[in-house]
A and B are shown apart, each in its own frame.
Chain A
Amino acid sequence: MKDELNLEENQLVRVLRIIINDYRLYLLLLPIVIWYGLWFYKPLAGLLIAFKNFQPNLGAMGSDFVGFANFETLINGAFAPQFWRAFRNTFVISLYGFIFGFPIPIILALFFSEIINNFLRNVSQTLSYLPHFLSEVTITGLVLTMLRNSETSTGILSSLLINIGFIEETTKVVQNADYFRPMFIITGIWKEAGYSSIVFFAAIMAISPVLYEAIKVDGGNKLQEIRYVTFPGMAPTLIIMIVLRIGRMLSVGFERVILLYNANTYETADTLATFVLRIGLEGGNQAVGAAAGMFDSIIGFGLVVGANFISRQISDTSLW
């Protein structure tokens, strides 16, 4: 075999020979290559339309090239007010989601680990994960119905909020822009906090019990135990989860926004992804939509790379 490979043989032939000799392995790779080619990398080429005056009947190639004109309509043209509103909302919602949503799973994990009774712990953990496995449509369906406040019926959550004096009797939470963000973020916590706590719980469980005994012998109290044993022990997991979370910041919850928002709440609810959906697909401005989507993707990608870079600087942990 080695003798046949003479030096004049060019690389392509050599590569082909390796592949043919090992063709079964490459056959196994083939499905995934085709799949990502068709459904991920081919549409990347479709981003070209962000730089064109896209006419569906002419296609992406046939349409006229217009440079950055589509981006300009977004940044200071006809779509600018809506675009910047969506931009601001995306950041504000993600930020609130992070501030309120991120610590809760950690606290839950900490408390789960305090429950010594296995049965009680399993039951409460299992119950808390359940909403994660329900669909966004089911979850938002429950939320919307429980928050309904119409002349014919008042949902249980709306009655509760009225009774504790949090809202007026006529307030329709779902239709009110002031309440969108809390509604969205609390729904998210309900659905995901229990499930997200698993990773942290596993990290806490992996900490050696010897360390806990040591700090007890030294006379440390509970808070010192958490401060000096638990947190350092789960630090790598924490950092990875923060990196992952920041990387996903802009994309998270797009389906949930569509399902919870409506024309009355665009002011606080419309995000980049929903803006792209309405302008680009429902409104027929594909090129502008593609430009806004590209903007979204590039910022998202930048966030991942940035977060990873920072985590590598401050610790040994990184994603790649």
Chain B
Amino acid sequence: MQIGLSRSERAFKIFALTLVGGFSLLAFFPVVYAFSASISGKIAYETGQVLITPVDTTFEVYELIYLDKGLWISFINTLFYTVFGTVWSLFMTITGAYALGKRRLLFRRMFNFLVVFTMWFSAGMVPLFLNYTSLGVDNRWGIIVAFGVQAFNIILMRSFFEAIPHEIEEAARIDGANEFQMLLNIYMPMSKAAVATIALFYATSRWNGYFWARMLLQNQTEQPLQVYMRILIENYRWIFDDMPPDLAYSPDSYIFAVLVVSIIPVLIVYPYISRHFAKGVNLGGVKE
């Protein structure tokens, strides 16, 4: 350390900290702003007084949100898709990764290639859509079952499994463990961190899923939060026209409040996410 930290080096470090700190604050700013704008008064918002902190604070808009039945139905739907979808995706990924990692599996290379290939090619939107509709993917369970398995995660999981020492497997086999017991009692407990990481990947992608839910779900009461939110944003003008002019808040505040509702659950699990995911990304980036 004595050699380092010359004046130029110190200047560089300060420059780096300012730039990176600036970027990070800027990245986080819209979230803070959305919350402040959602609880600011109509006049304060519309005259541009809200910059970072709320002005003329009023929580009236959240009373409206509280009474918005459609929003809460879609919120609960999203919870449903996230919980069951993640369980389903994990089941497919773990069983598949275990089998694909076994050297004795017949046609192992071919099966692995068929999985990897799905990352690089796709039938395209039209054949996919026709396939989904012809197999009846237009309801809750369809969305759970037909989506959410990602080749990338299978490969990630497989490389975790492959890193488990062979001796452990042999010892368990001598003790009479069969394939299912091996996976449940040896492999899964030994790769808890990996399973948690992949579960988080799946959960966030389920929580955020939008396009296919919008295209496929027929019944309005089954739509997830993302779809509900988007329809609201698209119908802004119509919401605006419907709102009485003497409201305490701006229609924009309503949109921001709904966005905040979608952000809060992510913020709640975020400390947990940020501890786990970096590890997964690093492993996946280098080894495929």
Residues of A bordering B, CB below 8 Å: 15, 18-19, 22, 24-29, 31-33, 35-36, 38-44, 46-47, 49, 60, 108, 110-112, 114-116, 120, 123-131, 133-138, 141-142, 144-146, 148, 152-156, 159, 190, 193-195, 198-199, 202, 213, 216-217, 221-222, 236-237, 240-241, 247, 251, 255, 258-259, 273, 276-277, 280-281, 286, 289-290, 292-294, 296-297, 300-301, 304-305, 319-320
Contacts and interface: CB of A to CB of B under 8 A. Distances in A.
Contacts, number: 273
The B interface, classified by DSSP as helix, strand, loop or mixed, is helix
A237 B115 CA distance: 23
A293 B125 CA distance: 7
Nearest to A33: B111
B70 interface: no
B120 A138 contact: no
Contacts of A26: 99
B99 A32 contact: yes
Nearest to B93: A32
Given A49-B127, A221-B8, 16 more contacts: A32-B115, A111-B17, A111-B20, A112-B20, A115-B20, A124-B23, A137-B230, A138-B208, A138-B263, A141-B259, A156-B51, A159-B48, A241-B285, A281-B129, A290-B124, A293-B124
A44 B127 contact: yes
B211 to A, nearest CB: 5
A115 B13 contact: yes
Interface in B1-33: 3-4, 8-9, 12-13, 16-17, 19-21, 23-28, 30-31, 33
Interface string B205-227: 00111110001000000000010
Contact of A15 (B25, B104, B106, B127): B106
Contacts of A133: 204, 208, 266, 270, 273
B27 A222 contact: no
B123 A47 contact: yes
Chain A, interface SS category: helix
Nearest to B125: A276
Contact of B126 (A41, A112, A293, A301): A293
A40 B123 contact: yes
A108 B263 CA distance: 25
Contacts of A258: 211
A255 B125 CA distance: 12
A137 B229 contact: yes
A202 B278 contact: yes
B179 A28 contact: yes
B114 interface: yes
A114 B226 CA distance: 38
Contact of A24 (B21, B180, B288): B180
Give chain B's interface residue range (CB within 8 Å of chain A): 35 or more
A29 B93 CA distance: 10
A129 B274 contact: yes
B229 A138 contact: yes
Contacts of A24: 178-180
Contacts of B93: 32
A294 B120 contact: no
A108 B122 contact: no
